[in-house]
Chain A
Amino acid sequence: MKISKDKLVFRILGVFLIILITVFCVVPFVLIVTGSMTSQASILRDGYRFVPKEISFEAYKIIFDSPNMLLKAYAVTIGITVIGALLGLFLTSMASYVLVSKDFKYRNHFSFYFYFTTIFGGGLVPWYIMMVKYLKMKNTYTSLVFPLLMNVIYILIMKNFMKSIPDAIFESAKLDGAGDFTIFINLVLPLSKPALATIGLFIALNYWNDWYNAMLFIDKQELYPLQYFLYNILSKLDFINQSASRSGVPVPQMPSEPMKLAMTVVATGPIVLLYPFIQKYFVKGITIGAVKG
C-alpha cells in the first residue's frame, strides 16, 4: 500500500506527539510505584528514580502490619461510595424521567430551576454555615454523602439519554393502566441500563476521590474517608521530615519517603485496576453529555 508523503509526515509527527503525551501521563504512576519499593536510605542518597537502586518492601510491611486505620478509611469510602452512588443514581434518574415526560407541563420551568443553580450560587460561606449550624452535619457520614448526591450535569446527561426511548412504549404501558412510578421502575430503568452504569460510575468516582468535604466537615480521624486519610498521612510525614531536617536530628527510623508513596499506591490501586473495565462508560457519558440537552 502506498502512502502519500504528506500522510507519512503527518503520521510520524502525530504518532511521536501522541507517544510523548502518553508517556507523560503514565510516568508519574510508574515513579510512585517504583519509589514505594525503594529503601529510605536509597531515596535520601540517590533520589527517586525509575529503577530503584535498593529494592525494599519495608514501607508496605509497616502499612500492612497495623492496617486498622487504613481499613477503617477504606470502609468509610466504600460505604459512602456505594450508598451515595445508588441513592444519587435513583434520585437523578427519577427526576430525569419526569423532566423528559412530554405530558408534564412544567418540565421546562423545573429544568430551569435546576439549571439556575449552576450559574449562580450563594458561595461557600452561607453553604458551610447551613451545613454545620443549621443541618448539624459536622462529623457525620451524612456530610460526606449529601454534598455529592446530585448534580445538574448528570440530570442533563440522563435526560439526553432518556429522550431516545420511544414514546410509544410509555403510551402503551399507560393504556394498560400502569402508573408513572411503575413505568419508571419496570420500563425506564431497564431500558436506561447503559446510562445508569455511566452516571453511577461518575457519581461513584466523585465519592471515591473526595477529600474536600472531609476537610470541611470532619475532624474525627475514625470518620476520615480514604483520600483525606491519605492527605493527612502525607502532610504528617512531610512535617516529620521537615522538622527533623531543620533541627538536625536524624529522621526517625521510619521509611517516611517510601511510606508516602506506598500509601498513595494503596489508596489509588483499586481505581487503576478497575480503570480498564469502567473506562468505556465514562467515554459514553462524556459523549452523551456533549450533545446539548
Chain B
Amino acid sequence: MKNKNGILSELQKNKTKFIMLLPAVLYFFIMCYVPMSGIVLAFKNYTYSGGIFGSPWVGFKNFEFFFKSGKAFLVTKNTILYNLAFLIINNTLQITVAIILSELTNKHFKKFTQSLMFLPYFISWVVVGAFIYNLFNYEFGAINTILKSIGWEQIDVYSNPSAWKYILVGVSAWKWVGYGTVLYLAAILGIDPEIYEAADIDGANVFKKIRHITLPSITPTIIVLLLLSLGNIMKGDFQMFYQVVGNNGLVLDATDVIDTYVVRSLMDLQEFGMTAAAGLYQSVLSLLIILGANKLIKVIDNDYALF
C-alpha cells in the first residue's frame, strides 16, 4: 500500500516527466516486450488465421524438428567459432593500431590514416558485398586478375567453403578496425602522462613502456569490452554474413550462423514455429552467457558490472 502511494505521489509530482518518458517506454514495450510474449510461438504450430495466441499448441515439436534437422549443432558451432575469431582478431588489431598511433608524433599522418581506416564503418553491407564480388569474382575479380598476370592459378572462392572463414574474418577486421581504434585510443589518451615521463627518466625503451604502462592501463577497458561482446556471441553480424556470402548454397555449411539460418527459414520456408524455436534457443543461450559474463566482471572489478 505504501509503495502504491509512492508511485501515485511521484506521478503527481513528476507528471510532465512521466509524459516525456512515455513515448520511449511505449516504443520499447511494442518493439521488445510485446514480441517477448510471442516466444510461446516456439511451442505452437503457427497458422495465419490463429495468430500468435490462437494457434494450436504442439509442445516441444518445433525444438525437436530444429535439433533433429542436424542444423542446430552446425549453426551453433559456426556462430560461436566465428564470433570468437572476430573477437580475438579484431581486438588485437584495434589495440595494436591504437598503441602505434598513440606513439607516433606526426599529427597529420595520424589524422589522415585514422580517417581512412574509419571509412569502412560508414558504408552499408550491400556495398561491402559489391566490394567482395569485385575482388573475388573468378573470371574478372581484381585478385584473380593479379594472380593471372603473375602467372599463378586463379582461385574460385565461390566453390571453396574453407576460403570463407578467412574472407569473413578479414572483412570483419576491415570494417571495424577504425571504430575500435577510436575506442582504444580514447582509453590510451586517458593514461596519466606523468607515468610515461617517470619511465623516460628511468630509461625505459618504447617496448617496455608499452608492456608495462600502456597495456596494463587499458586492460580493464579491454576486459570489459571483451566480456560485453561475449554477450553477443550467439548473435552474428547478420548483415555481414548475408551480404558478403550471398545466397550461395555451396558454401552454406561453412558460413551458416544462427541469424542467417533464422532469416532464411522465415523468409524462404515460412517455417514460423521452428524458426521461433531456434530464435528462443538463441535468446536463452545469450542471456545465460551475459549473466555468466557479468558474474565474471564482478569478480574482476565490481565497478564495471553491468547490473
Contact = CB atoms under 8 A, between A and B. Distances in A.
A89 interface: no
Interface in A253-293: 257, 260-261, 264, 267-268, 271-272, 275-276, 279, 282-283, 286-287, 290, 292
A49 interface: yes
Interface residues of B, number: 102
Interface in A105-159: 105-106, 110, 112-115, 117, 119-130, 133-135, 146-147, 149-150, 152, 155
Contact of A275 (B103, B122, B127): B122
A222 interface: no
Given A32-B131, A106-B10, A271-B123, A121 B16 contact: no
Contact of A18 (B100, B187, B279, B290): B100
B28 A114 contact: yes
Nearest to B19: A181
A57 interface: no
A21 interface: yes
Given A6-B205, A25-B120, A209-B124, A264 B20 contact: no
A175 interface: no
Given A47-B144, A48-B140, A286 B116 contact: no
A125 B140 CA distance: 40
B104 A22 contact: no
B141 interface: yes
B116 A22 contact: yes
A44 B140 contact: yes
Contacts of B135: 28, 31
A99 B14 CA distance: 12
Interface string B138-182: 011110110010000000000000000000000000100111001
A184 B17 CA distance: 10
Nearest to B23: A91
Given A133-B51, A267-B127, A268-B127, A126 B41 contact: yes
Interface residues of A, number: 101
Given A21-B97, A130-B35, A181-B20, A6 B28 contact: no
A279 B118 CA distance: 8
B76 interface: no
Contact of A21 (B6, B117, B287): B117
A25 B130 contact: no
Given A117-B33, A155-B24, A261 B16 contact: no
A129 B279 contact: no
Interface stretch (B66-74, B77-85, B249-257, B260-268): B260-268
Nearest to B131: A28
Q: Is the interface of A mostly helix, strand, loop or mixed?
A: helix
A114 B125 contact: no
Contacts of A48: 134, 137, 140-142, 145
B51 to A, nearest CB: 6
Contact of A279 (B7, B35, B115, B144): B115
Interface hub of A48, A126, A208, A275 (most chain B Cβ within 10 A): A126
B140 A129 contact: no
B52 A129 contact: yes
Interface string B19-41: 01101110110111111111101
A125 B38 contact: yes
A101 B224 CA distance: 27
A101 B14 CA distance: 10
A47 B140 contact: yes
A216 B123 CA distance: 20
A26 to B, nearest CB: 5
A94 B130 CA distance: 39
Counting chain B CB atoms within 10 Å of each CB, which of A104, A121, A208 scores highest?
A121
Contact of B119 (A29, A155, A238): A29
Contacts of B279: 122-126
Given A46-B145, A114-B28, A264-B127, A120 B21 contact: no
A276 B35 contact: no
A90 B221 CA distance: 31
Given A25-B119, A91-B27, A150-B24, A121 B35 contact: yes
Contact of A112 (B101, B303, B307): B307
Given A4-B205, A19-B113, A92-B24, 9 more contacts: A4-B206, A44-B139, A47-B140, A105-B10, A130-B30, A133-B48, A230-B130, A238-B133, A292-B303
Q: Which 7 A-B pairs have the closest CB atoms?
A: A126-B38, A123-B279, A47-B145, A209-B124, A122-B35, A95-B24, A117-B32
6 contacts: A95-B24, A134-B51, A210-B124, A234-B133, A271-B123, A292-B224
